[in-house]
Amino acid sequence: MQPIVFSDFNPAQNALEESLFHTANGYLGVRACPEEGAPAGVPSIRGAYINAFYDIKPIRYGEKLYGFPETQQGIVNLTDVQNVRLYLEDEAFEPLKTGEVLAARRTLDMERGIVTRFIHWRSPGGREVEVTVRRMASLAQRELFIMHYTVKAVNFAGRVRLVSREEGAVTNFADPDDPRVAGEALQHLRVEEVRPLPAGGLIRSRTIASGLDLAVAVGYTPPASFTLGVQAQPTALEAVMEGSLWQGQSLTMVKHCVFADSRRHGDPAGAALRILAEASARPVLHYESLQKEMLAAFWRRSRVVVGGDDALQSSLDFSLYSLYCSVGRDAVSSMAAKGLSGEGYEGHFFWDTEIYVFPFFLLTDPALARGLLDYRHTILPAAREHARLMGHPTGALYPWRTISGSECSGYFPSGSAQYHLSGDVAHAFLQYYYATGDLQYMAERGGEALVETARLFLDAGHWHEGAFRIGAVTGPDEYSCVVDNNFYTNAGAQETMRGAAMMTRRLREAGLAGQLLAATGVTQEELAAFERAADAMYLPYDEKLGIHAQDDGFLKLAPLDLAAIPRENFPLLLHYHPLWLYRHQVCKQADTVLAHFLYEDLADEGIMRRSYDYYERCTTHDSSLSTCVFAIMAARLGDLGKAVDYFRQSATLDLDDAHGNTKDGIHTANMGGTWLAITAGFGGLRVKPDGLHLHPRLPDAWRAYSFPLTWRGSELRVHATPAGCRVELLAGDEQSIWVYGQPVRAALGQAAELPIPQ
């Protein structure tokens, strides 16, 4: 597998590269910041994060109305362990500021899970040095982050000093003019103790408002023959390592950093010190081997291969690797919009998880997928409270953006109003059930979320002239807010209510409904009401255009010629007042088109086609969640050339910094969408009540493609080549699936080649 390599030395894109080359393991993420610090003028967002480790801050309003959240959570920038200053005699290694960079290279090795920064630098005094920094966030030991800092004296001999500093006085990043990041730079961590140890130390901190504890234990292994002195400062640890290098010699300092927080550890400091002791006692190779093994298993389960386009293949690899490194692996965390790579969207969890990311894990690593559902179960009480606040006497309304469960949106029209999120969560629970048949899980957790979200929709909607309508919600497209009968939302509400009724009945039949009934008290009358409302769900449809309307009003709004808008005015949200956007037929992202993917039985092919064409003209793709959906639906509709174009846009979005804000973090939903574009798009994959459906198509642009799936405990691989489509059973039991609508049996050594329809 080709690594991701950036060998341009371009300080102007430093912050972007910090995101792309961050190291993460689902628990911990460390941006790839220059160890020596970024000088003025070099963009840098120095950060490290623990998934769902948050502080609380007030939300201020120009006018605060009833029910507006008073506080929000925000991911906390952790104790900064990245600082290593290097001195060659009296000269500081400052390649971003002075001297001459002779070569530079950033490398992400996705088979080994290691990021490397290499710089060959000539100091103003003429000393040439090669610095190589390797970083790893251990997949096997989530608290562990290891840095190797190697110095090679190319053309000189002399004293070398390394100063490693762990700084506890940190703030979060902010940009008051960009609604997609925090508006105010705040300090969230207060240092409680700095404890030096013989070859390392401990910094204990507490978040200021949420009162969560963080312990960071550090162990230094200085280069052989170097002296080591550790000093505690009020908010920092500083280790000075000194020694000499002869010309051509290279020496390595190793730093083990262990992060432990009180959301996962009863005694974070104790845990950090214990893990540090274990890790320090083992050779680094131990963790590197484990890392490689885990990644090998990951790639076996997950790697999508597209023949004939190496750059695209790399982008794809990067997407899936990033997803794996970003996803939360416990019940208090999920997948943040930027993973653990930056502070964009403040570490919040959105619908991105359920709709864009969850399917990837569901079909490659179902245990991780279940973890994402566990998180939704964890915050169900908060979602109930949220529903009450929003005026619903029953049900659960999942917050639009949250970490700990309460709504963090400071602008409800494109926040709390996105009721579809509750339908998205219900959809994920149902997909999990359809994919795994795990009735026990539904009995313990899934059923409750389904019933509570169904109740929410039943209460949010009302009957009018024989139809069940839902007013005043916002669909996925945030360029139309607070509308009536958003097609996407109503379709999701319909599925949710039907799903809740179906699941409750199935659990009853299986004698497994006890826990659900105890938790919800759901009655037969309620189930019947769910079904009546679902059956009568109003799904706006325009007879003349032959398409579903995004909402009651959308098709009557002012049309907008997107081509007439200057390129620099995109994304529109940064250049037009929301009212102007709301007044026009313009979409930030796929909305109805997405509904036709998720709820495809609601529309026939003709509607889907016309809908795709109509909304494509309206859509700016200002959201990174858009192009992948157009890719899926273009493939679904047989427009494979266009599908490849959209797919390429999705796949390369971060590496090309196409949205200009990857500096604030990678776009994890888009990465999940990239996987969906291949599997659900070209592969035609759907998870339905009757099982796994495939409908592979092969675009002209590619020789072939293939992707693995984990299905009911078996490992499959789907191949699409000019010779046809083949579903290979790699491990596990035989499986019955559907290909092109026909039942197919996937068995070892038997993989019939089915012709790909033109």
Tell me the CA distances in angstroms from 448 to 395, 406, 426, 518, one per residue in order.
10, 18, 10, 10
Catalytic residue among 478, 526, 600, 616: 478
Minimum distance from residue 461 beta carbon to a copy of itself (Å) = 8
Encoding tokens for residue 490?
């109503």
Taking the least distance from each CB to a copy of itself, the nearer of 66 and 246 is 66
Interaction between residue 703 and a copy of itself (CB under 8 A): no
Work out which of 8, 12, 40, 66 binds a copy of itself, going by CB under 8 A.
66
Beta sheet of 158-167, edge-to-edge order? 91-92, 80-88, 158-167, 236-245, 227-232
Interaction between residue 64 and a copy of itself (CB under 8 A): yes
Taking the least distance from each CB to a copy of itself, the nearer of 94 and 484 is 484
> Which residue type occupies 746?
A
Taking the least distance from each CB to a copy of itself, the nearer of 188 and 648 is 188
* Residue 378: alpha-carbon gap to chain centroid: 19
Work out which of 67, 211, 641, 757 binds a copy of itself, going by CB under 8 A.
67
Whether 354 sits among the annotated catalytic residues: the reply is no
Interaction between residue 65 and a copy of itself (CB under 8 A): yes
Q: Are 747 and 730 in contact (CB under 8 A)?
A: no
Work out which of 8, 62, 310, 601 binds a copy of itself, going by CB under 8 A.
62
Q: What DSSP designation does 442 have?
A: I
Interaction between residue 59 and a copy of itself (CB under 8 A): yes
Interaction between residue 561 and a copy of itself (CB under 8 A): no
> Which residue type occupies 512?
L
Minimum distance from residue 654 beta carbon to a copy of itself (Å) = 23
Helix, strand or coil, per DSSP, at residue 347? helix
Site for a copy of itself in 482-501 (CB under 8 A): 482, 484
Minimum distance from residue 497 beta carbon to a copy of itself (Å) = 17
- Strands, E, within 298-363: which ranges? 305-306
DSSP-derived pairing of the beta strands 691-694 and 735-739: parallel
Alpha-carbon span 65 to 68, nearest angstrom = 6
CA dihedral sign, ordered 330, 332, 335, 341: negative
Minimum distance from residue 313 beta carbon to a copy of itself (Å) = 38
Work out which of 13, 42, 43, 68 binds a copy of itself, going by CB under 8 A.
68
Nearest Cα to Cα of residue 481 among 409, 544, 562, 547: 409
Q: Per this entry, what is the length of the chain?
A: 758
Minimum distance from residue 457 beta carbon to a copy of itself (Å) = 12
Minimum distance from residue 343 beta carbon to a copy of itself (Å) = 15
Stretch that binds a copy of itself, among 126-134, 446-454, 556-564, 685-693 (CB under 8 A): 556-564
> Which residues, 6 or more positions from 346, have their beta carbon under 8 angstroms from its beta carbon?
72, 73, 74, 75, 181, 182, 401, 408
Taking the least distance from each CB to a copy of itself, the nearer of 484 and 657 is 484
Interaction between residue 553 and a copy of itself (CB under 8 A): yes
Work out which of 91, 444, 552, 657 binds a copy of itself, going by CB under 8 A.
552
Tell me the CA distances in angstroms from 220 to 138, 283, 392, one per residue in order.
17, 13, 55
Alpha-carbon span 591 to 393, nearest angstrom = 29
Q: Are 45 and 35 in contact (CB under 8 A)?
A: no
Beta sheet of 48-50, edge-to-edge order? 23-24, 28-30, 48-50
- The phi and psi torsions of 289 (rounded to 5 degrees) equal -70, -45
Q: Are 149 and 253 in contact (CB under 8 A)?
A: yes
Minimum distance from residue 416 beta carbon to a copy of itself (Å) = 7
Taking the least distance from each CB to a copy of itself, the nearer of 176 and 308 is 176
Site for a copy of itself in 380-419 (CB under 8 A): 389-391, 409-413, 415-417
Tell me the CA distances in angstroms from 606 to 47, 532, 547, one per residue in order.
49, 28, 9
Taking the least distance from each CB to a copy of itself, the nearer of 576 and 738 is 576
CA dihedral sign, ordered 590, 594, 597, 601: negative
Interaction between residue 338 and a copy of itself (CB under 8 A): no
Q: What DSSP designation does 664 have?
A: G
Q: Are 746 and 734 in contact (CB under 8 A)?
A: yes
User: Strand pairing partners for 117?
Assistant: 106, 133
> Site mask, a copy of itself, residues 443-482, x = CB under 8 A?
-----------------xxx-x----x-xxx-------xx
Interaction between residue 158 and a copy of itself (CB under 8 A): no
Interaction between residue 183 and a copy of itself (CB under 8 A): yes
Interaction between residue 217 and a copy of itself (CB under 8 A): no
Alpha-carbon span 367 to 642, nearest angstrom = 34
Kindly determine how many residues on this chain lie close enough to bind a copy of itself according to the rule CB under 8 A: 55
Site for a copy of itself in 570-629 (CB under 8 A): 573-580, 582-584
Minimum distance from residue 398 beta carbon to a copy of itself (Å) = 15
Concatenate the DSSP letters of all residues of 550-578 into one string: SSTTGGGSBP--GGGS-GGG-SGGGTS-H
Taking the least distance from each CB to a copy of itself, the nearer of 176 and 722 is 176
Site for a copy of itself in 113-152 (CB under 8 A): none
Q: Is the peptide bond before 708 cis (omega within 30 degrees of 0)?
A: no
> Site mask, a copy of itself, residues 5-44, x = CB under 8 A?
----------------------------------------
Taking the least distance from each CB to a copy of itself, the nearer of 165 and 384 is 384
Torsion of CA 557, 561, 562, 567, to 10 degrees: -130
Minimum distance from residue 210 beta carbon to a copy of itself (Å) = 18
- The phi and psi torsions of 305 (rounded to 5 degrees) equal -120, 125
**What is the maximum span of the chain, computed from C-alpha positions, in angstroms?**
88
Taking the least distance from each CB to a copy of itself, the nearer of 580 and 738 is 580
Interaction between residue 559 and a copy of itself (CB under 8 A): yes
Q: Are 29 and 339 in contact (CB under 8 A)?
A: yes
Stretch that binds a copy of itself, among 53-61, 507-515, 599-607, 729-737 (CB under 8 A): 53-61
Interaction between residue 179 and a copy of itself (CB under 8 A): yes
Taking the least distance from each CB to a copy of itself, the nearer of 461 and 492 is 461
Which residues are designated catalytic? 478
* Chain positions contacting a copy of itself, by CB under 8 A: 59-69, 72, 176-177, 179, 183, 389-391, 409-413, 415-417, 460-462, 464, 469, 471-473, 481-482, 484, 552-553, 556-559, 573-580, 582-584
